[in-house]
Amino acid sequence: MTDLRELLHATAAEGSDAVDLAEDLVVERIRHRRIRNRRFAVGGVVLTAAAVIAGTTWIVHPGDGQPPSASGPAPRIVRSDVDNPSGMEALLRTTLTVDASGCVQAGSGHPAVTLVWPRGYTVRGDAKSFEILGPANNVVARSGVPLDIGGGGADSFKDTWTGRDCRNGHAVWMVGHVGPTR
């Protein structure tokens, strides 16, 4: 900008009054551009910060399948001593919830049903939002999502299953195929 001023002053020294006006106009335009560039830079920083905050919030309070931060008792599931899902063909339409002991149950009302998942299945998340993972760590079910769970009832609770304290007198359901309610 200094070179431009010197050029304009040299031209003005030659006797032109129009150059003084042109100098002021050019200086004003340069000032406006600098202000605009600063505003864009500040806006870019603000947008970047907002994106970082939104991304962090999404990680802590996710939308699509990510478990949130812990609250309440850690959910746990009952697992059988066999790797394969139940071959029974009955259908249970329900949503998954966690009871006061942290046990994943079918339905939140009475009577609740204790689900027995095949060996290799796990649960992650917390009492408010959790996921059931298959042996390959793929999500097979999520809390609060209406599900069709194939399988069937069991007459007794075997000693070789995990989570004996999760039965609490509830009916027992051997989990087969799991999918969204149709």
Judged against a pLDDT cut of 70, whether residue 132 lies above it is answered with yes
5's enclosing H/E stretch is helix 2-13
**Structural domain total, the chain:** 2
- 98 and 38 housed in the same domain: no
Whole-number pLDDT of residue 71:
61
- 56 and 85 housed in the same domain: no
- 34 and 87 housed in the same domain: no
- 168 and 91 housed in the same domain: yes
DSSP state of 115: E
Whole-number pLDDT of residue 65:
47
Whole-number pLDDT of residue 21:
59
- Containing domain of residue 101, as a range? 78-180
- 87 and 176 housed in the same domain: yes
- 54 and 87 housed in the same domain: no
Q: Does any domain span residue 51? A: yes
The domain that holds 97 is classified in CATH as: 2.40.50
- 117 and 45 housed in the same domain: no
| pLDDT tens string 3-58 | 766 766 776 666 655 555 566 777 788 887 888 878 777 766 767 767 767 666 54
Mean pLDDT of 114-139: 93
- 137 and 83 housed in the same domain: yes
- 162 and 84 housed in the same domain: yes
**Alpha-carbon gap, residue 140 to 158, rounded angstroms:** 24
Of 27-36, 77-86, 150-159, the range with the lowest mean pLDDT is 27-36
- 44 and 110 housed in the same domain: no
**Alpha-carbon gap, residue 63 to 77, rounded angstroms:** 23
